[in-house]
Amino acid sequence: MLETKIIKVDKNQPERDKIKMAAEIIRKGGLVAFPTETVYGLGGNALDEDAAKKIYAAKGRPQDNPLIVHIWDISQLNQLVKEIPEKARLLMDKFWPGPLTIIFHKNDVVPFGTTGGLDTVAIRMPSHPVALELIKEAGVPIAAPSANISGKPSPVCAEEVAEDMTGRIDMILDGGKASVGVESTVLDLSEEVPIILRPGGVTREELQEVLGRVDLDPGLAPGEKPRSPGQKYRHYAPDAPMTLVEGPIDRQVKTINELAEKLESQGLKVGIMATAQTRHLYTSGHIISAGDRTAPLTISSNIFTILRKFDRLGVDQILAEGISKDGIGLAVMNRLYKAAGYNVIKV
């Protein structure tokens, strides 16, 4: 078992000595968890097949699930990809650095171990100062999925990383809480109409302002390899089974109250993921507000932490409210669908 060092670092002006220490681990083939604006990433040298294997092993992640490669400067793209389409340039000008991942055709320098066996590579430039300084100092692009055990809720702070990764990786850089709270948007430009493979921190509406029509991926066909992290496998799941309730808010509350009462009558411990507007309307269960319905970014930044809280509370069943799919609400609902294993009640 590895000794995992946890190093606090200034999120706005990261200390050079700490960044150099972490970068040296990356260059030597080790693993470092670090903050981004979305969630914490589990980083290794993207050009090192053995480092990719270590990432998969630390997470318990299926090896056909591709890793996202993180860069600090657009000039690094020339090494990694065969061509940069004009649509990609427009998006990079608008959204990089930021929570948008773009899929390109890869150059041979990127190993298939990083891309899950695909001829394409998913790349983004994070906006978090710690992430950018680490990639720059390491001198190599960094492959970094979320720093959690595969299938579990993604971590938005160093303490949550430590819950899953202590003893599995070399270092955790503690740069405070991630601001967005859900992973990056993954966009495929290989078809005539761009396709969102995973909704995230850049919204569909924002992409449409730049590109015009942007479609949502309808899902994977049986046996198809995932082109993006988060497509194929059960993700973001708490320990307890979860039910997501969708519909008018008054009906959601009524249904959740009825379900909670029934479950508690059976001796089960119930967790309820509510919102600021509804929290006071529930009559039983362990109630946690995810945030304000009128400010969905407050919800996106909290949902994974709340799912981990329910794990610590040892609840037997989780009941969660749905929210509007406008803006970043689409990414929130995508994560809740997957956390619930698509166990959804529409009222």
**DSSP letter string over 51-101?**
HHHHHHHHHT--TTSPPEEE-SSGGGHHHHBS---HHHHHHHHHH-SSSEE
pLDDT of residue 71: 98
194 and 256 together in one domain: no
Does the predicted model carry a pTM greater than 0.75?
yes
Cα-based torsion angle of the residue sequence 251, 256, 259, 263 in order, rounded to the nearest 10 degrees: -170
161 and 309 together in one domain: no
Residue 232 covered by a domain: no
Q: How many Cβ atoms from other residues are within 10 Å of residue 192's Cβ?
A: 6
278 and 325 together in one domain: yes
Q: Are 139 and 45 in contact (CB under 8 A)?
A: no
pLDDT of residue 235: 72
Structure tokens at 200: 């995230």
Q: How many Cβ atoms from other residues are within 10 Å of residue 299's Cβ?
A: 25
212 and 246 together in one domain: no
pLDDT of residue 338: 92
Number of domain units in the chain: 2
pLDDT of residue 114: 97
Tell me how far apart the alpha carbons of residues 336 and 291 are, in angstroms, rounded to a whole number: 14
99 and 173 together in one domain: yes
156 and 298 together in one domain: no
φ/ψ of residue 168, rounded to 5: -105, -25
User: Where do we find the tokens 């919800």?
Assistant: 299
Domain stop point among 182, 216, 250? 216
Residue 231 covered by a domain: no
Tell me how far apart the alpha carbons of residues 196 and 122 are, in angstroms, rounded to a whole number: 12
Tell me how far apart the alpha carbons of residues 126 and 220 are, in angstroms, rounded to a whole number: 27
Residue 141 covered by a domain: yes
pLDDT of residue 233: 47
Residue 235 covered by a domain: no
Structure tokens at 124: 């983004």
Residue 225 covered by a domain: no
Q: Which strands make up the sheet holding 242-246, listed edge to edge? A: 286-289, 270-274, 317-321, 242-246, 344-346
CA atoms within 13 A on the CB side of 65: 19
Tell me how far apart the alpha carbons of residues 73 and 66 are, in angstroms, rounded to a whole number: 21
pLDDT of residue 227: 53
| CATH number (domain holding residue 284) | 3.40.50.11030
Residue 237 covered by a domain: no
pLDDT of residue 121: 97
| CATH number (domain holding residue 113) | 3.90.870.10
| Domain residue limits at 342 | 242-346
pLDDT of residue 147: 98
Domain stop point among 201, 216, 231? 216
222 burial via Cβ count (<10 Å: 0-12, 13-18, 19+)? exposed
Domain stop point among 150, 182, 216? 216
The whole-number mean pLDDT for each consecutive block of 10 residues of the chain, a chain of 347 residues, reads 95 97 98 98 98 96 89 96 96 98 97 95 98 98 96 96 98 97 95 94 97 85 48 73 97 98 98 98 97 95 97 98 96 94 95
Tell me how far apart the alpha carbons of residues 251 and 266 are, in angstroms, rounded to a whole number: 23
328 and 264 together in one domain: yes
211 and 249 together in one domain: no
204 and 264 together in one domain: no
197 and 54 together in one domain: yes
43 and 169 together in one domain: yes
45 and 175 together in one domain: yes
pLDDT of residue 132: 98
Residue 236 covered by a domain: no
